[in-house]
Chain A
Amino acid sequence: MRRRTKFHINPKHVLIAGVILCVGFLGISFRFGEQLAPVRSAVGAVFTPMQKGINIVGTFLSDKLDNFRDINDLLDENKDLKDQINVLTYENKMLLQDKYELDRLRDLYVLDQKYQDYPKVAARVIAKPGNWYSVFTIDKGTKDGLAKDMNVLAGNGLVGIITECYYNYSIVRSIVDDKSYVSAMFLKTADTCFVQGDLQLMDQGKIRVISISKDAEIEDGHEVVTSNISPNFLEGILIGYVSDIELDASNMTKTAYLTPAVDFEHLEEVLIITELKEPQMKEPPKESDSGAETPNTETPATETPATETDSGAAADAESGTDTETGTNIE
């Protein structure tokens, strides 16, 4: 105890020092966010194996518990299922015939086919930072050939994009996240729009689609895919199906809701397309490397300037009205 009394400091002074330190950190990370990546990478490298481990243990335990609980249900279900098999085998034959037809049609439908050929890497979702964000960590990183801005899929729909990539883990922002903002288009009519995540709609399993041209001939159930003018997303990846189309108060654009093709509630494994969209370069690559990476800290930051160019391009293709709403969003 004697030692401690000699070491006495006024907590108030420490608090002031801490606050100054925090503000300093904020300033530094705001200004030089890029240079801090190695620090984050190192810390993350320590935690990734731990998070992975605890996930395995947790899943194992809950699986075991579920086993006991479910055994009776399973017996009943098994009986029902056997009956169903008979019906289904018959139906399956019918469907196979349809499938051959579908395959033929798909060959014609080049856009749909496109993203099935991209090289992909599978990864596991291992951590999630908090209740406010739909951001998650996956267990693959630069050592598996991933990089920032690579597109993430699950099943056959878009999940999100890698916002930060480190040695053995990466952080993915999903399209339902409040800050996500994806340039998209309708598969049928090629009308452009923006898919914007919204925490308020997440519970209903929906996200918002904005800035649809008022002349777009779309209906409920039409597919929305990533657009050809998006700077980061590869073209033609299915995002989801549109519903509840409404004309905006401004009478110039339409807004709609979108049901994602991916089940975000139960996301355990994802696929990452290891091919990046060809970046737009004003100058030869040497210069643009440093230039393109500066607003790197967040996707919205990188997407924001893109949004403007996007809506500009959209305005060229569509009527002039789009430009105004494009700037309004900001």
Chain B
Amino acid sequence: MKRFLIYLSEILILFVIQTSTFHYFGLADIMPNLLLILVVSSAYMRGRLTGLGIGFFTGLLMDIVYGELIGLYAFIYMIIGYFTGYANKIYSDDDYTLPIVFAAVGDFVFGLYNYIFDFLLRGRLNLLFYFRRIILPEMIYTIAVSIFLYKLLHMINHHLERKINEEE
């Protein structure tokens, strides 16, 4: 229950930060994909089921507030969460590089998905431009932020786990 509440507040806080407009946070008009970092790192730390759940609800929130169709974001975040969850098998408590790689790959997949479903379908064929203008900068920035954000999320998770172990 407590874990659930913590996940919920993590989603809410990161959502508000990501969508807020104060650009001093964004570089070159690009915002890092904080929610994706959350999905990927929880999936890595907790496994497929958690990744899938958090991904689904995060995506659903994006869909409800901003999406044109409900389900598009929920789907991709869920898929990313699920497949990152496989990496839980090689989870190690002090590996800080792997989740960053996952965040990069996840963001790339997310960007590609967004491009295909929203731009390619409307006949915008210049993938290279969109890659250079949005996908790549977003990836780089997401990687940079994930270094710190993962540490924070890892700390929260670590704390939670210790509490639960103490109780039992």
The smallest C-beta distance from A32 to any residue of chain B, in angstroms, reads: 10
Q: A136 contacts which chain B residues (CB < 8 A)?
A: 21
Q: A24 contacts which chain B residues (CB < 8 A)?
A: 71
Q: Is the CB of B17 within 8 A of A203?
A: no
The smallest C-beta distance from A187 to any residue of chain B, in angstroms, reads: 30
Q: A221 contacts which chain B residues (CB < 8 A)?
A: none
A30–B15 Cα distance when bound, in Å, is 24
Q: Is the CB of A128 within 8 A of B21?
A: yes
The smallest C-beta distance from A36 to any residue of chain B, in angstroms, reads: 7
B39 touches A (CB below 8 Å) = no
Which residue of B is nearest A301, CB measured? B68
Stretch at the interface among A53-61, A97-105, A309-317: A53-61
Q: A157 contacts which chain B residues (CB < 8 A)?
A: none
Q: B124 contacts which chain A residues (CB < 8 A)?
A: 178, 199
Quick one: given A22-B75, A126-B21, A132-B114, are A203 and B133 in contact (CB under 8 Å)?
Answer: yes
A 99-126 binary contact with B (CB < 8 Å = 1; else 0) = 0000000000000000000000000011
A 1-36 binary contact with B (CB < 8 Å = 1; else 0) = 100000001010011001101111110111001001
- Of residues 26 through 71 on chain B, the ones whose CB sits less than 8 Å from some CB of chain A are 29-31, 47-49, 52-53, 56, 60-66, 68-71
Q: Is the CB of A11 within 8 A of B49?
A: yes
B4 touches A (CB below 8 Å) = no
Of the four ranges (under 10, 10 to 19, 20 to 34, 35 or more), the interface on chain A belongs to: 35 or more
Q: Is the CB of A25 within 8 A of B134?
A: no
Tell me which of A44, A128, A131, A297 contacts B134 (CB under 8 A): A131
Tell me which of B65, B72, B168 contacts A40 (CB under 8 A): B65
Q: B31 contacts which chain A residues (CB < 8 A)?
A: 128, 130-131
A251 touches B (CB below 8 Å) = no
Q: A28 contacts which chain B residues (CB < 8 A)?
A: 70
Q: Is the CB of A14 within 8 A of B52?
A: yes
A62 touches B (CB below 8 Å) = yes
A321 touches B (CB below 8 Å) = no
Quick one: given A15-B78, A22-B78, are A125 and B118 in contact (CB under 8 Å)?
Answer: no
B7 touches A (CB below 8 Å) = no
A203–B30 Cα distance when bound, in Å, is 12
A200–B125 Cα distance when bound, in Å, is 11
A18–B63 Cα distance when bound, in Å, is 15
Q: Is the CB of A127 within 8 A of B49?
A: no
Tell me which of B20, B48, B64 contacts A58 (CB under 8 A): B20
A203–B114 Cα distance when bound, in Å, is 20
B85 touches A (CB below 8 Å) = yes
Tell me which of A14, A51, A58, A200 contacts B25 (CB under 8 A): A58
- Of residues 263 through 278 on chain A, the ones whose CB sits less than 8 Å from some CB of chain B are 265
Q: B133 contacts which chain A residues (CB < 8 A)?
A: 199-200, 203
A237 touches B (CB below 8 Å) = no
A234 touches B (CB below 8 Å) = no
Tell me which of A39, A55, A298 contacts B64 (CB under 8 A): A39
A129 touches B (CB below 8 Å) = yes
Q: A199 contacts which chain B residues (CB < 8 A)?
A: 119, 124, 130, 133-134
Quick one: given A47-B65, A132-B114, A203-B133, are A14 and B24 in contact (CB under 8 Å)?
Answer: no
A252–B138 Cα distance when bound, in Å, is 40
A204–B17 Cα distance when bound, in Å, is 28
A14–B86 Cα distance when bound, in Å, is 14
Q: Is the CB of A131 within 8 A of B71?
A: no
A50 touches B (CB below 8 Å) = yes
A71–B72 Cα distance when bound, in Å, is 48
Q: Is the CB of B78 within 8 A of A130?
A: no
When A and B form their complex, which 7 residue pairs have the shortest distance between CB atoms, in order from nearest?
Answer: A58-B22, A25-B71, A11-B48, A129-B66, A26-B71, A29-B70, A22-B75
5 additional contacts, CB 8 Å, given A15-B48, A51-B16? A14-B53, A23-B71, A26-B70, A58-B24, A132-B134
Binding site for A on B (CB under 8 A): 12, 15-17, 19-22, 24-25, 29-31, 47-49, 52-53, 56, 60-66, 68-72, 74-75, 78, 82, 85, 114-115, 118-119, 122, 124, 126, 129-130, 133-134, 138, 168
30 A-B interface contacts by CB (under 8 A):
A9-B49, A11-B47, A11-B49, A11-B52, A15-B52, A19-B78, A21-B71, A22-B72, A22-B74, A22-B78, A25-B69, A29-B71, A47-B15, A47-B19, A54-B16, A54-B22, A55-B22, A58-B24, A125-B21, A126-B21, A127-B20, A128-B19, A129-B19, A129-B66, A131-B31, A131-B134, A131-B138, A132-B134, A179-B122, A199-B133
